[in-house]
Each structure stands twice: as structure tokens, then as C-alpha cells.
Amino acid sequence: MNYGFIIDNRKCIGCHACTVACKSEHEVPIGVNRTWVKYIEKGEFPDTRRLFSVMRCNHCADAPCVEICPVTALYTRADGIVDFDDRRCIACKACTQACPYDALYMHPEFHTAAKCNYCTHRVDVGLEPACVVVCPEHAIISGDMDNPETEISKLLARETVSVRKPEKGTEPKLFYIDGDSVSLRPSESDPNTDYMWSSQSSGVGKFAKFAEQKKAANADKTVPKKLHQIEPRAKKDARRVYDAPGKGILWGWEVYAYILTKAIAAGAFFIPVIAGFFTDVPTHFKQIGGLISLVFLAVTGVLLIMDLGRPDRFLNVLLRPQWKSWLTRGAYIITGYGGLATVWLGASYFEFNLIADIVAPIAVVFSLLTAIYTAFLFAQAKGRDFWQSPMLGIHMLVHSVMAGSAILLIPAFIFESFASLQEVLLAILIVAIALHLVTLAIELTTTHTTEDAQTVAKMIVKGEFSRGFWMGMVLAGNVIPMTLALTLGSTLVPVIILLVLVGLYKAQEIWVKAPQTIQLS
């Protein structure tokens, strides 16, 4: 069996009966939707057409939400339905970033993810999904696509159908008859125009972060309308008339901060230990680096738990792991790194040199994995094209070198016995900053393969994130500290440290936040 949906746009009248039935069947709260109807107006008056498209989970054959979920809360049933178990969900929100179709939302009351589950409780007893039964025009068709006798199978055989974002390779099983690209491709209609629900821009409940951000940013551009004033046509050929509310920035400051603290925890360990393989680095300095690593690794763990909607279930990542998810792999990498760093620090402190020498290279490998594993997690977030860049892992490794060398400058500056290491650390920092600027130039000047990724790059370089990028990240976080390190050397070390860390935080904020502003549905 292989269940799927067909939406026959030749019949849909935009009545929202499917949305209401879904909300009633599953007690879906106001402000979020498992099923919704998107209205798009196409053309110029009087030659216009209004398009209705039912949006929901596509029950993909290769579902990225299933792969990224760290606790198997999302899974594909034997009949092809992508189902969800909210008893396992930790609300890490990774699935919302992985879904290219914006089909998942965070439940404002239960703080877990949720989505269309094909009304499995009805299907299992031989009934059709609630939306199918209630549709007055029979515009929603469900059934087993592998059975040639079903209506859906016959329609797929004789009708021309389209799917949303086939380039994602998810093999969606939600098909549209007479589907129009201006409705199915979110980039073809301007999401920033006013439409029903557009004022609710960032979800509800705990996840309503930055709810008024876009409004405030665009407040000076808003012109009061007269009663019969004709609204100017947007640059796009089609405009939104009715749509579901956007979910906003679901990965917020906790994620920006965690990536930075993780970079510090990795770099503070591997820089002095690796350097010690080639030159004489005082043992006490390495121990300080190890202690700093453990402190920031603990902060990283706290931030990760804080970001969860269900922090009470955080142990599910370790106790009920789904091994394809890089969130699970990352949790084990961080745990392993913390254990190895602790063993190394204890062995080094108590002068068990043989143990320290054996553990050190293994711990270095885990520290490097800690620095870069988030790049693989972001790559699993297929809904965000900008994160699919192969440069992201390089960015994170370079950031770890920058953060580690900057934080190690603190003991080198404070303790006179380590003063000789200042020049070495400054040299490492200068090289890392230079590499960072090169990777930034490659990342932002190379033509990206998708329109969404190109849009994010433009937003960073000359759009709403440009001031933070140029002034905070590039100038304050890279150019000025590198110039100070080259010209004034160790005399302004505290200023250099502060600027580098602030610049790195700004970098994480922009790289995490900007792609999440792209409309997915």
C-alpha cells in the first residue's frame, strides 16, 4: 500500500471546509494549521483569476523530517503515511527546518511538533481522512496509489499532475491537477504584501518569537490607505489574498549562542593540544584550555536544552536515538567529547602521562567533530537552501579556530608565565580571520543553485541583514581585530578578544536567522 493525495484545482472553490474539518478532527488550535487553503490572485483587473491550493504535509517517500528527527517522533508507516508520535517529541524544531513545504508547526499548548497525519485513526478502520469526506466538490482525493482500481490511481494514470518543489528530491505524494506554479512556488508571489493572516508573522505561544519584527522594520514604509485607494501592484505577477500565518524564527538566540559556545569549547581544546604535537606548549596552558572547553561545553548543553520546547524529554536524544539524524549524532559527539576531555584533563593534572597521551589525539578528533557537525545537521534541513552550502563546514571549523584562539588569549594576557604565547595565538587568529574573509567572499559571490539561496545571499550583503553583516560581522568582528593584531600586537588584546567574539556571535545570528525568513509555502 502507498497512500497519497490528489488536489483537483479544477473543482476547489476555496471554501475552507477541509481546514475546518481538520481542526475539528484533531483539535488544532487557532493560529496554526495542518491543512489550509492558499489564495493567489493572478493577472491584472479585469483579467484576473483567483487560484485555490490546499496545502498540507506531502507524505514524502523520502521525507527529510523523518531523517532529521532525533527521537523517531516522525516515522514512515508501511502504508507510506508519514506519521507523528507526540509522546516522543522533544520540540527541537529540526523537522520544521527540514520540511520544504512548511507542513509542520509547533503546538502552542503542548509545545511539540504536529502536522497532517492522513487521519491514520480513520484510515486504520477503513474510513477516509476528514478533509476528503467533508469536501463538497470532491476536490480532495485520497487512496492507495499502488492499487490500480482506486480513484487516485486512475487519476494519476490519465491526468497531468504536478507537485511542489520536485527539485528537492523528496518524492512528495501530494499531487495537484491543474496546479499553477504561482500558487505552488512561494517565491512567485510576494509574501510581504498584506493578506489575511499576514499580520501574524511568527507563530503562537512559546514559539511566537520576533512576532512584530517585520512590522516594525517596515513601519516607516507603510502608507495609510484611503477607503477606495487602489493598492499598487507588487513586482510579482501574482499576489497573496489569503494564506496561513508564517512561523517566524523558530531557531532563535539559543541556537546562535550554542554554535558560538560550541566553537569555543572545541577550539580552546584542540589549538593548544595540536600545537603541543609540534612544539613545546606548557602543560598548564593546555589544562587551562581543557578546563575552558568543559565550561563552554556545559554552557552548550544548557543552551541546547533551553531551546527545546520539551526540555523534560531531552534525554530521549540519547536513550531513544534515531541514528540518521545529525542532531542525535551531534549529541553523542558532544557527550563523547566531554567525557574524553574530562579524562584527558584528569590524567594530565594527576600526571598520568601515558593515559593523557593516548586520549589526547582521540579527544582532538571529537573536538573537531564538535566544531563542524552542525554543518551536517543544517544540511539535513532541506527546507533552507542557503544551509545546503558545502562551505558551511569550513565556516564552522574556521570559526572554532577564531573563537578558540581568542578565548585562549585571555589566560595568555592575564598570566605572565604564558605571555610568550600571545604572539603565537595572535598569529593563529590573524590567519583564521584571513581564511574567514576568503570563505565569506567565496560563499557570497558564488552563484547559488536555487532562488531561495540567492535571495538569502542578497539579504545578507545588501538587504535587511546587511548592516549587521558589514558593520558587525565583517568590520567589527574581522577587519578591525585583524588590523589591531597586525599593528599594535598584544597591547590591545582585550579589545581584540571582545571584537572577535561579538563578530562571531553576529555571524551565527545572521547565518541561522536569515534563511528562516524565506517563505516555504
pLDDT of residue 198: 56
pLDDT of residue 219: 44
CATH 1.20.1630.10 fits 253-516, yes or no: yes
CATH code, residues 3-212: 3.30.70.20
The predicted-structure confidence for 178-225, as pLDDT tens digits, reads as follows 999 899 998 888 776 766 655 544 454 455 544 444 444 444 444 333
The predicted-structure confidence for 129-154, as pLDDT tens digits, reads as follows 999 999 999 999 999 999 999 999 99
φ, ψ (nearest 5 deg) of residue 360:
-55, -55
The predicted-structure confidence for 297-315, as pLDDT tens digits, reads as follows 999 999 999 999 999 999 9
The pTM of the full predicted model, rounded to 2 decimals, is 0.90
The predicted-structure confidence for 340-374, as pLDDT tens digits, reads as follows 999 999 999 999 999 999 999 999 999 999 999 99
What does the alpha-carbon distance between residue 335 and residue 348 come to, in Å, rounded to a whole number?
20
Domain boundaries, the chain: 3-212, 253-516
**Is residue 158 scored above 50 in pLDDT?**
yes
What does the alpha-carbon distance between residue 485 and residue 20 come to, in Å, rounded to a whole number?
62
Mean pLDDT, residues 331-346:
97
What does the alpha-carbon distance between residue 328 and residue 71 come to, in Å, rounded to a whole number?
8
Measured in residues, the chain has a length of 521
What are the beta bridge partners of residue 81?
A: none
Q: Directed axis angle between helix 392-414 and helix 421-445, to 10°?
A: 160
Which is nearest to 360 in space by CA: 253, 410, 287?
287
Exposure string of 201-223, with b = 16+ CB inside 10 Å and e = fewer, is: bbbbeebbebbeebeeeeeeeee
pLDDT of residue 210: 42
| Strand intervals (E) in 14-77 | 36-44, 47-55, 74-76
> What 8-state DSSP symbol labels residue 449?
S
Mean pLDDT, the chain, whole residue set: 90
| Strand intervals (E) in 73-114 | 74-76, 82-84, 105-106, 113-114
pLDDT of residue 224: 39
